[in-house]
Amino acid sequence: MTLFGLDCAKKKERELERKLRANDREHNLSFRYAVIPAISSLSWFTTVVPLVLVLSVTAAKDATDDINRHRSDNQVNNRKVTVLMDGELRSEKWMSVQVGDIIKLENNQFVTADLLLLSSSEPLNLVYIETAELDGETNLKVKQALTVTGDMGDKIHSLAAFNGEVRCEPPNNRLDRFTGTLTNAGQKYSLDNNKILLRGCTLRNTEWCFGLVLFGGPETKLMQNCGKTTFKRTSIDRLMNVLVLCIFGFLAFMCMILAIGNRIWEQRWGSEFTAFLPRQDGVDTPFSSFLTFWSYVIILNTVVPISLYVSVEVIRLGNSFYIDWDRKMYHARSDTPAKARTTTLNEELGQIKYIFSDKTGTLTQNIMIFNKCSINGKCYGDVFDYTGQRLEINEHTETVDWSFNPLADHQFSFHDHSLVEAVKLENVEVHSFFRTLALCHTVMAEEKTEGELLYQAQSPDEGALVTAARNFGFVFRSRTPESVTIVEMGKQRSYELLAILDFNNVRKRMSVIVRSPEGKLCLYCKGADTMVYERLDQSCTKLMDVTTEHLNEYAGEGLRTLALAYKDLDEEYFSRWKQRHHEASTALEDREDKLDLLYEEIEKDLVLLGATAIEDKLQDGVPQTIEQLAKADIKIWVLTGDKQETAENIGYSCNMLREEMNDIFIVSANNPDDVRQELRNVLSTMKPGAEEEAIFMPERTLGNKPKVVRDEEVNGEYGLVINGHSLAYALEHSMELLFLRTACLCKTVICCRVTPLQKAQVVELVKKYKQAVTLAIGDGANDVSMIKAAHIGVGISGQEGMQAVLSSDYSFAQFRFLERLLLVHGRWSYLRMCKFLRYFFYKNFTFTFVHFWYAFFCGFSAQTVYDEWFITLYNLVYTALPVLGMSLFDQDVNDMWSFQHPSLYVPGQLNQYFSKTAFFKCALHSVYSSVVLFFIPYAAMYDTVRDDGRDIADYQSFALLAQTCLVITVCIQLCLDMSYWTAVNQFFVWGSLAMYFAVTFSMYSNGTHITFPASFPFIGTARNSLNQPNVWLTILLTSILCVLPVVAYRFLLIQLRPTINDKVMFKVRQAKATPPLPARRARMRRTSSRRSGYAFSHAQGYGDLVTSNHFLRRPAITRSTAFTPLGRTTGFSPMGRSAGYSPTGNALNSRPQEVEVTSLQMYRMVRDSAF
């Protein structure tokens, strides 16, 4: 069997197991007993009809999911690919491909398996691939084949005769690393990641290529990364499971009492009825009691209604559609709607206590603009007036005229004219600065049409820096693996590219070594200031101090910073270093470590050039959203890779850190003891005299589950900023509780310089020890682990690809939409689900407990109170639609009031709407209602006659009266629970009552009885009973007695202990009764946003790729003059404005300003002193 076939077979086995387990629900067990005649007192249809209906709905839903899943599987497995077999090309299915096959891919085809690239249609054996499905990045990447295999081209006979042997690493999940060797004709060739095409990629801008299959099926790196996805369940789901088990126990208890009652009754009075009801042979009193137990299990199983889980799924599905359809969460500029990628977590959105957010691309726009720079100790970018006062830059500030540079990108704006003058005056340091930006990068340039430059940058930062150099006269034009061509002030110059010392997350810098046209060797370096400063020559100390002041100033403004440096190299030394570099790059073991040592050796004694500052604007509405969420008592933790100064400034700009806070603590120690001491100091400052040991909640669960840390109160508001080094120690087992307790006392926590793994660890720590619901939100591939770790994962579709979205539970385009997702959709979903569960348990408990009371009056004979058809239709027809309507449309207040009163969100965090206590109250309410519903009709029908003297004191009349009272009572109770009425709700409630009476009169008619005499024995009961005044009086009295205590209790509760919901709903009612005064339109003011600091990507750079043997898709267009009009870059917007940008600083599609003012004045008019 092939690897693909083996994968499919294993998948089918797992799928079969999942299906069997998914439908093996415990509460279905009781329906198996219903088919045993000896213990079932119900007709077959009473059980079969609801069971078949519910299972049909479930089966239809599962079948739809399975069909879609299998269609997707078949679409992948049956894709066609061209395979070289027996010296000819054949079309085969993906599932037939085996390791060792040579396959041909064409443009826009998916890569079938992990392949070794052999040859390509492009010059120099290049291929362009898109890895959006693999790592979420949308920019094209380039791979290149070995020369020895590339020479085969598309010659079938050469490819068929290829007899190479590949030795490589075993299957693993490292997408950025590959180590192996190719042996061909006795010669060994080193293989790395730049020669491998991974499954999940798409071939772009390449006519064809050939590849050798290295890994297939489950051994591919894509499948190796598809680890087990944690199945997320809501807290309500977990609570329901516990309650269902308790209900089963209570059901067994009730059945045991009734079985004992049956035995006592049979022993004392059973013999008196044997003349009328002879005993069956072999059934004595003990065995009769045993059979009675199981009979009552069947009768009373409605305490766990079979339709509960199906109804819950339908409600969740409906509330998910509301999110998908919400136009106020639609981002018009990017044409991105909000999307509920799961339908099982909606109510959890109404219980969020902790939000963990990425910064770059989540809170900020991830659209980079070259804003300022420091060159040779002088700061550029600010604008001053004639008196030397700094001016605020806005849309009216005069921009630099780029007419001197025909190749400039005219969408790029800069306001400091002095920098342009320095460039024109040929300032040596300024020219070296921009020459570094034009040479030190891995950007790819393409000029498809004359005068149009297209840049493909690895990150928006690089695109912004190269574009800045372009506008200031140093235009990156083209590159090959051996050269970089730039245009310096109108003159085209080609630099020999000798080496790229690539970027990674540990080095946090990159360098290039080039030889100028004059033959001068030079190393250019850019990177994080901390990394570059450690490698500077001692002669740069004074310049370093001045530049540091500029860097701190930039960080204070929230700008992303990089330091630039260079070094002249000796030819003889470089030749020796180059030889060692070649040996290290071809090593099979410890290749990266050896290269890092060589990089460290040559990257020293650098000369500082200056620093760059890139602006990453805040997304629209971020400060307002965070302020609203904070008012909802949601704690927001920012987990970012930025430096500490930038992280602090972002906290202020987003209103997470505020000047009015009591204190903001910085934890930045570099060893465990100091970190522990700093955390102790922070804790003692917030809570003087507090013990270091955490206070745990009382244990309520069995097993080895972690204890829950109790929430603590603190006077005042505090913030905490901790860097990645300190966080690594704080997350150790011996210190994690101290860190958690300290952090949870703070209003805001910012973790800076963190890795993706640390992000997930922080989330897991809070989940482990806090009884709270967590949400993680991000937009990049480095946020995936955090998104998967949280209870709720939210992905933002941004500049960093779709990986975060693909791993998320909910997705949208802007952070500001999180406010509506939680405060509106989340709160409504939670409120609706809780109301549904309370009402559903109430109506079913009430229905069931009437049977329990009736058992004491029927000799514990397992006789039902109601008509069998009523039992069948009660949950499916008479009471299903009204509660479904409430669960889909109900809302206590509308979205405007939800935004004005974020504190409405707090009850969800505290589980106030549905908990074990609420369930116990619901059960007590059901017991009371069942007592009234049984004993009042029983007393009213005892020895009762009609107006004409005919007797109606019979079982059938009593059953009809009891079930009529039940239906009316539960409908009235639903009306009391409903806060928001629509035409649909009205139709469902009154339609259900009308349906009940229509079905009752139809089933109890003469015609139905004549047609089905055995199934409809209640002939004429409705006609004889429901036309009597005393019957309707009994119905009225019963209904009033059932609901009157509820009304009285709720009235007293509102008057004596009003909740936040009661207070707001009171304001809403008064606002509706009192029309508001005309509102004066608020003055619109632009809010300046602070900026975010630089954080490196966690992706590997392209250095090895662009320095490989050859590099170029096709020759660049060359001219005698390098100036062409209106060049244009891609991948970022120099204007820096995201979709939905508003000059006022408010997000588009948010609430209008005049509405807010009106509501505020409305509140001032109607506020009551009692509230």
**331 beta partners:** 336
Of the listed 7, 135, 358, 890, which one is catalytic? 358
Phi, psi for 807 (deg, rounded to 5): -100, 0
Q: Report the SS3 class of residue 497.
A: strand
> Would the annotation count 178 as a binding residue?
no
> Would the annotation count 151 as a binding residue?
no
Contact 926, 846 (CB under 8 A): yes
- Taking alpha carbons only, the member of 1106, 1109, 1103 closest to residue 150 is 1109
Tell me which H or E stretch contains 1052: helix 1029-1056
Contact 804, 1130 (CB under 8 A): no
> Would the annotation count 225 as a binding residue?
no
> Would the annotation count 462 as a binding residue?
yes
In the chain, the amino acid numbered 1080 is R
**Can you give the three-state secondary structure of 343-407, one letter per residue?**
CCCHHHHHHEEEEEECCCCCCEEEEEEEEEEEECCEEECCEECCCCCEECCCCCCCCCCCCCCCC
Contact 745, 687 (CB under 8 A): yes
Q: Is 573 exposed, middle or buried (0-12, 13-18, 19+ CB in 10 A)?
A: exposed
> Would the annotation count 640 as a binding residue?
yes
Q: What distances in angstroms separate CA 628 from CA 336, 655, 778, 837, one per listed residue?
A: 24, 10, 19, 29
Task: Report the C-alpha dihedral over residues 807, 810, 815, 821, rounded to 10 degrees.
Answer: -160
Task: State how far the Cα of 1163 lies from the Cα of 1064, in Å rounded to an integer.
Answer: 10
> Would the annotation count 1059 as a binding residue?
no
| Helices 916-941/1029-1056 angle, 10° precision | 150
Q: What contacts 674, CB < 8 A, 6 or more positions away?
A: none
DSSP 459: S
Q: What distances in angstroms separate CA 242 from CA 535, 699, 723, 1069, one per listed residue?
A: 61, 16, 41, 38
Tell me which H or E stretch contains 262: helix 235-269
Q: Is 858 exposed, middle or buried (0-12, 13-18, 19+ CB in 10 A)?
A: middle
Contact 322, 825 (CB under 8 A): yes
126-130 sheet: strands from edge to edge: 140-144, 126-130, 202-204
> Would the annotation count 1124 as a binding residue?
no
**64 Rama sector, left if φ>0, alpha if ψ -120 to 50, beta otherwise:** alpha
Contact 182, 168 (CB under 8 A): no
Euclidean distance between the first and the last CA atom of the chain, given in angstroms as a whole number: 74
Q: Annotated catalytic, 358?
A: yes
- Taking alpha carbons only, the member of 886, 895, 970 closest to residue 926 is 970
Task: State how far the Cα of 193 lies from the Cα of 195, in Å rounded to an integer.
Answer: 5
Token pair belonging to 897: 């009031």
> Would the annotation count 642 as a binding residue?
yes
> Would the annotation count 93 as a binding residue?
no
> Would the annotation count 371 as a binding residue?
no
Task: State how far the Cα of 134 lies from the Cα of 131, in Å rounded to an integer.
Answer: 5
Q: CA 141, 147, 153, 158 torsion: positive or negative?
A: negative
Contact 655, 628 (CB under 8 A): no
In the chain, the amino acid numbered 225 is N
> Would the annotation count 560 as a binding residue?
yes
Q: Report the SS3 class of residue 520.
A: coil
> Would the annotation count 503 as a binding residue?
yes
Token pair belonging to 524: 């250019």
> Would the annotation count 359 as a binding residue?
yes
In the chain, the amino acid numbered 170 is P
Binding-site positions for Mg(2+) read 358, 360, 779, 783
Q: Which residues are catalytic?
A: 358
Binding residues, by number, are 358-360, 462, 503, 526, 560, 640-642, 753, 759, 779, 782-783
* Residue list, annotated binding site for ATP: 358-360, 462, 503, 526, 560, 640-642, 753, 759, 782-783
